[in-house]
Amino acid sequence: MPVPWFHTGMPPSPRRSVLARLARELPIDSTVVLIVLIAALATGAGGMLVAANSQRPSAPPGSSPTAARPGAVSPSDANTRQPTATAWAIADPGDEPTATPAATPEPTLTPEPKPTSKPPQALTGYVWPLAGARMSSRFGARSDGFTVVDGQRVHDGLDLATWCGDHIRAAHAGTVLYAGRKFDPFLGYSTSLASFYSHFSNLNGFPIVVVIDDGNGYRSVYVHLSVSKVGAGDVVKAGETIGLEGATGHATGCHLHYGLIRMDGEWQAVAPEHVRLYPPAVRERVDPLLVLPLRDPDAPPKFLEKYGPPDRSGLPFDPPAPEPGGG
């Protein structure tokens, strides 16, 4: 005789009562369904059980289960098929992006193209911009030089002097780019000069300058003129008057500062004390003595004494390097 539940101290389990009833009522071939129900009750999911009123037909004897075909829909799922999930590409875990982005590669610096202009020693067609002048300062190392080359400050032009009002001539045929006091944008700086000019409300203290494109990759610069005789766009010949000798700007007396710029040449540094106003670099400044005919009658007298009569062969003359303290 069964022991009453009150003797055991625990009432009969509802789950066991359900299982016992199912075991009595379900046919033998429903064992599989019974096992599933038992598993559901054992895991606590049996609070809401739905008993199947029909069972799947058994497979014919001797047949083997048919493998499910991709995309096939079973009869019982025909009306409850879940919507197809969107396909997403799943990357290999090793390819997942890290929290720290990859470092940006250093930009490849484009090398400065080689100059296409001729070297200064190969240039022709130049004449002295001031005939028979005294050379008061030469191109080369000087403590107050504007540019720095090989660690030395350099005076970037040739200072020639005769008298105030003497005729300044074009050293080479070309086209006038500018004549006046706001000349710096035509001198080959590495960046804009807008910031430079913003510091000055009046340019009267600046020199009068003429800048000429010599048509060979070089520009000639004529500084400290008292008067300019040409304007932008004028085409001039070598030896033609472009202005008068003066002392405008920072000058201790009337003279001409003649400079030559190779516009596709290397960059040269501006002296540190000037960088607070000027851009940091300028195009290559060239020694005018490399292009001017030293044995020409218009050359400074001491050069004539040293190098003899003028070269009348018509061939380019490659002048030797000047000695310190010359003319």
3-state helix, strand, coil in the chain (%, to 5): 20, 20, 60
188 and 299 assigned to the same domain: yes
What whole-number distance in Å separates Cα of residue 206 and Cα of residue 246?
12
Residue 79 lies inside a defined structural domain of this protein: no
DSSP result, 164-181: TTPEEE-SS-EEEEEEES
Of 275-279, 296-300, 302-306, minimum mean pLDDT range: 302-306
Q: Which pLDDT value is given to residue 30?
A: 54
294 and 160 assigned to the same domain: yes
145 and 45 assigned to the same domain: no
Question: How do strand 147-149 and strand 218-225 relate by DSSP bridges?
Answer: unpaired
Q: Which pLDDT value is given to residue 162?
A: 96
Query: Which structural domain range is residue 15 located in?
Result: 11-51
What whole-number distance in Å separates Cα of residue 286 and Cα of residue 319?
14
Of 67-71, 102-106, 163-167, 279-283, minimum mean pLDDT range: 67-71
DSSP letter at 68 equals: P
Residue 316 lies inside a defined structural domain of this protein: no
158 and 265 assigned to the same domain: yes
Return the SS3 of 32: helix
What is the domain-level CATH number for residue 290?
A: 2.70.70.10
Q: What does the pLDDT average to over 65-76? A: 44
Q: Which pLDDT value is given to residue 180?
A: 97
Burial of residue 43, with CB atoms counted within 10 A of its CB: 0-12 exposed, 13-18 middle, 19 or more buried:
exposed
Q: Which pLDDT value is given to residue 45?
A: 44
21 and 164 assigned to the same domain: no
Q: Which pLDDT value is given to residue 211?
A: 98
144 and 281 assigned to the same domain: yes
- Structure tokens belonging to residue 270: 């501006």
| 51 Cβ contact partners less than 8 Å away, ≥ 6 residues apart | 22
Q: Dihedral angle at the C-alpha atoms of 240, 156, 260, 197, nearest 10 degrees?
A: -90
| 150 Cβ contact partners less than 8 Å away, ≥ 6 residues apart | none
Residue 247 lies inside a defined structural domain of this protein: yes
Residue 89 lies inside a defined structural domain of this protein: no
Q: How many domains is the chain built from?
A: 2
Confidence of residue 282 (pLDDT cuts 50, 70, 90): very high
Residue 104 lies inside a defined structural domain of this protein: no
pLDDT digits (tens, 9 = 90+) for 210-249: 999 999 999 999 999 999 999 999 999 999 999 999 999 9
Residue 211 lies inside a defined structural domain of this protein: yes
25 and 159 assigned to the same domain: no
Residue 287 lies inside a defined structural domain of this protein: yes
Contact 291, 126 (CB under 8 A): yes
What whole-number distance in Å separates Cα of residue 83 and Cα of residue 70?
15
Contact 249, 205 (CB under 8 A): yes
Question: How do strand 152-155 and strand 235-236 relate by DSSP bridges?
Answer: unpaired
142 and 239 assigned to the same domain: yes
pLDDT digits (tens, 9 = 90+) for 144-185: 888 888 888 988 999 999 999 999 999 999 999 999 999 999
153 and 302 assigned to the same domain: yes
32 and 132 assigned to the same domain: no
What whole-number distance in Å separates Cα of residue 304 and Cα of residue 84?
99
Q: Which pLDDT value is given to residue 144?
A: 81
Residue 281 lies inside a defined structural domain of this protein: yes
139 and 25 assigned to the same domain: no
| In the block, residue with structure tokens 């300058």 | 209
DSSP letter at 241 equals: E
Contact 169, 129 (CB under 8 A): yes
45 and 187 assigned to the same domain: no
| In the block, residue with structure tokens 């106003």 | 277
For residue 73, pLDDT over 50 is answered with no
